[in-house]
Structure 1
Amino acid sequence: MHLSQTVVRTEHASRYLQQLCKHWSHKFSVDFDPHKGRVPFSDTAEVTFAADDAGLTMTLSVADPSQQQRMQDVVADHLKRFAFREELDIVWID
């Protein structure tokens, strides 16, 4: 599996975690609470979330490295839609 991670500084990490997980729960078997979440997009790709007072940590795991950039973009774009009131710095580290 290929991992990439980003830590997004925000005071609303738990809110965004829950919004993202609820959004994707219509298509995927999502598991979450206010502090952590997991979205299995497929057998070969998933994202996990961890929220604390400092921000939202997102860890993306993909089996196929050619999927990595696209999945990073999907997750980041969805977060930006929910966080449209603030400017978030989303930098993935492989």
Structure 2
Amino acid sequence: MSSTTAAVPTEHAERYLQQLCKHWAHKLQVEVNDNRARIVMPSGAITSLDAGTDALDVRIDAADAEMLAITKDVVVRHLDRFAFREAPLAFHWTDDTLA
């Protein structure tokens, strides 16, 4: 199992969380509860989002490092698209790969 987390500084975290979830809800399993979301990708990777007042916290759990890298890229590209006025967003990733 591989995982990574990022704190993404933005004052629009809740907006971006909602936009991403709405965008993916028609084709992915998406759960939204207040300022938190859980998205299950087709690969089985899970993306968790938590919108704070000054940052969007992102966590991705994937089966392996390759799928983690792919999912990170997909999440970053989509969030940057929604945050076009302040893109590219500053993702400060911390990876934790377990055997």
TM-score by length of 2: 0.88
Alpha-carbon displacement from aligned partner over 1:41-77 (angstroms, at most 9, x marks no partner): 1363110000011210000000122111111010000
- Quick check: 1:46–1:61 contact (8 Å CA) kept in 2? yes
- Corresponding residue for residue 35 of structure 1: 35
**8 A Cα contact 1:18 1:33, kept in partner:** no
Aligned length: 94
Secondary structure of the corresponding residue to residue 94 of structure 2: coil
Deviation string 1:10-42 (CA, Å, 9 cap, x unpaired) is 000000000001111011121013410010013
The share of aligned pairs that are identical, in percent, is: 41
Quote the residue 2:68 is aligned against.
Answer: 68
Unaligned 5+ residue runs, structure 1? Answer: none
Task: Give the number of the structure whose residues are more often strand, by fraction.
Answer: 2
Moved over 4 A (4+): none
- Give the letter for the 2:91 counterpart: I
2: CA distance, partners of 1:66 / 1:86: 28
Cα RMSD for the two superposed structures: 1.3
Residue number in structure 2 paired with 1:46: 46
